[in-house]
Structure formats: structure tokens, C-alpha cells
Structure 1
């Protein structure tokens, strides 16, 4: 599928489509709204500002990534939803471990764009079919964060899957990626084509310097 890169609008919460089951993507919307609320003007929030209380409704879907090498970011924290999809604890694993071999270069390139531009990435995923297992769809958002040094080396992410998970690890293919470049005065649309336990372990580390934020409900569009 083809996705057009769109300018980032800091005054709006991006409303995403629903899964075929009718389950909303509110965890993704809430994480994005929380991230936006932490921004100071056009700046990117610091990792130390992330407070788990502000994400209390979405912790099982949320994760924090740390950039460790070009195209590689590992999970520092991950909710139970991701562990259920992977069939194991994912802390310390690279994000690419959640994807099929054919999708890993694509995800690596997306990570580099999020870190280096910086940008927000919204990714539509399809679970790899194995034996007689049913289909599984997912959406993921990647929101850049700064480290204490001011470098953009962290990501706040949310991944929400819908469908047949099973007990074996799920791996995903990428069907669409939408990139929203930040800190750009007048970004030009571009085209990208594609082939078809909570945070409990380190919640104290998440407690940041910013005041506590709680999201307010927004209308779905």
C-alpha cells in the first residue's frame, strides 16, 4: 500500500481507523495526546518526563525503546500485550524481533527516520500466518524522546493488535507506514511504498521531572 507523509499538526489528535472487530485504537490516541501535552512548543519531550500515571490506561500496550546502533532499538520497558504477542518477556530485545525477516530492514529504516529527522511514525501491521492460525492485525505508533543529554535516542511507542494471537510468538509484516516529520516549517508530501507485565518493573524510573498529566477524553474522528 502507499502512504503519503503528512505535515505534523500539533493542535490535533490523529484519529486512526478501527479494526474490523470494532475495537477502537484509543491506546494509540491516548499515547499521542500525552506525548503532545509534554511538548514545549516544537520541542521533543525528554524521556525523564514520561510518568506512567499519565499512561495508566495504556500501559499494557506501551513500550520504551532505546537506540543502541543505527537501525537498532531495544525494549527498555514493555507492557504485557507485547509480551503476549512475542510469547516471552521482550525487555532487552530489539524491536525488529517482533517482525518477519522481510520486514526488519523496513522497521530499521523507520526507526532511523524517527530518531534522525525526527518524526512520528504510524505503522499498520499484519501478523504472519502460521499453519492454521487465524489472521492478526495491529497498529503501532512511535513517538521520539530525548535522553538526558538532549539527543533523540528514545522512543515512546504503543502497539495494539487485534485477532488470533495463539500461544506461539507472533511476527508481523509491515503493510503501511505514515511518517510525520517534526520541526519542519513547510514539509513537502512524500510517498512511501511497501510490499505488501506492564511497566511495573521500572515504573519508578519512569517518574519524571514534569508535573503529573492526565489525559482528557477526546472525540473520535
Structure 2
């Protein structure tokens, strides 16, 4: 792969990271999830995803670009991020995810896909960037995954060839934790007044679930109400 081709392939990662860095506060404060506007990374949305911390070493994909879905042969929304990684390397990913949420580090991974019948050579690069929820706790992320090669038969899972970590503002390299390193405990949420959410744009926007009140209580003097079938297509 030529240098020019590599630069072109990694362009979505650079666009997302540049946008994220522009959102950093003057003192390097991690951006809020609600600050992410998909219209500003439109050319990279195919490769982007949003994640949420669900355990000290585990993140769940909330919204996924079409490229991730193509790699797995299914909709990645609601799936653990580790689904993309070979089982033997998931602990290594978990240690990096723990550092991302506890220390707000920028994580870069170089990946090589497992090969087999209908699964040719495929390499990839993943970028993970921390975000804060509207309550102020660092429990969200935005990331991207680009690959080089033919996807072939799905699902495609990847081995981790290398991991690098950097502080968000200074760009100082941080040693990657060993797979056996004990993860940092989950940070205690910092409760702050919720920011007024902006209008949800399309792309990486997440749908809201409408509120429905409780049904009226039955009385002895009234006949039982007729049953009604309520169909909800909300997640």
C-alpha cells in the first residue's frame, strides 16, 4: 500500500479526531456527547460510531456507521465494541477502554482480521475518543474504524497488532496497559445541571422514547376495561 493510498484510507479518522480536538475546552476538557453534530463529520459517518461505558472494561455501541455493520453482517447498535475483536485480544481492548474512560486518553489500534474460508487479508485502524455525558461523567465515546482489503465472508473479527495512547491536549504518549493490569474503578459521576440539548440532527442521532402514563386503576363498580394492543417500535 502506497503512502498516498494510506493517507486517503485514514482520512475519516483524521477528520473525526480534528473535529473532536476543536471541541476540547481551553484546559483540555473532554467534549460532551451532546456537542457532537454529525453534519460536521458527514464524510466520515460511514466509519464512525458512538459508544457508552457499561462496565469498567466494556463499552456498548449505541450508533454505528454502515461500514461496521458490513464488517459484522448485522446491525452493531446495542452490541459490545469487543464483538469486533478476536476473543483472545478482548482483554487487551478492555484495558485500553478502561484507560479511555478513567483518564480521558486518545486510543489508536492497528488491527489485522482473522483469515479463513471466504475471508482474505484485511487490516484496519480504529480510533477511540472519550466524551462526557450531560451529567459530566466520562462514560461516552466517539470512534471510527477503517479497513483495507475485501470484507468477504462475515463476520470479520480482528486481532490487535498494536495499541497507542495519548493525552488529549499535550499529545504525550502513554504506555498501553498489559492485559492482566487491574482496571481503574469506574469514576463517580459528577452531577451538573443538564445542558439544554440541541436539535438532534440525523446520522449519529439517537431516538428518544416517549413517556406514557400509567393506566387508570379499576374500581369495583365498573366493568373491566377492554384490552388494547399497544405496539411500540421504539428501542
Q: Which TM class, normalised by the smaller chain length?
A: 0.7 to 0.9
Within 2, Cα distance between the matches of 1:141 and 1:40? 20
8 A Cα contact 2:63 2:77, kept in partner: yes
TM-score (norm 2): 0.71
Task: Give the deviation of 1:24 after TM superposition.
Answer: 2.8
Greater Rg by CA: 2
> Any residues of structure 2 matched to 1:1-221 within 5 Å, and which?
23-41=8-26, 42-131=28-117, 133-182=119-168, 190=175, 203=205
Q: Which structure ranks higher in relative contact order (CA pairs < 8 Å, sequence separation ≥ 6)?
A: 1
8 A Cα contact 1:115 1:144, kept in partner: yes
Return closer, same or farther for 1:205/1:50 CA change in 2, 3 Å cut-off. Answer: farther
Deviation per residue, 1:75-121 (Å, 9 max, x gap): 10000000000110010000001111111001111100111011000
Within 1, Cα distance between the matches of 2:70 and 2:173? 39
TM-score (norm 1): 0.75
8 A Cα contact 2:25 2:31, kept in partner: yes
Task: Give the deviation of 1:129 after TM superposition.
Answer: 0.9
Deviation per residue, 1:2-59 (Å, 9 max, x gap): xxxxxxxxxxxxxxx9597774310000000000111111110000000110110100
Task: Give the deviation of 1:168 after TM superposition.
Answer: 1.5
8 A Cα contact 1:176 1:193, kept in partner: no
Report the count of equivalent residues. 185
Task: Give the deviation of 1:205 after TM superposition.
Answer: 5.8
Within 2, Cα distance between the matches of 1:24 and 1:116? 30
Secondary structure in structure 2 of the residue aligned to 1:58: helix
> Could you tell which deviates more after superposition, 164-173 or 82-91?
164-173
Query: Runs of 5+ in structure 2 lacking a partner?
Result: 180-200, 209-235
Task: Give the deviation of 1:70 after TM superposition.
Answer: 1.3
Query: Runs of 5+ in structure 1 lacking a partner?
Result: 1-16, 207-221
Deviation per residue, 1:176-196 (Å, 9 max, x gap): 001002467x967646689xx
Superposed CA RMSD: 2.7
Task: Give the deviation of 1:164 after TM superposition.
Answer: 2.0
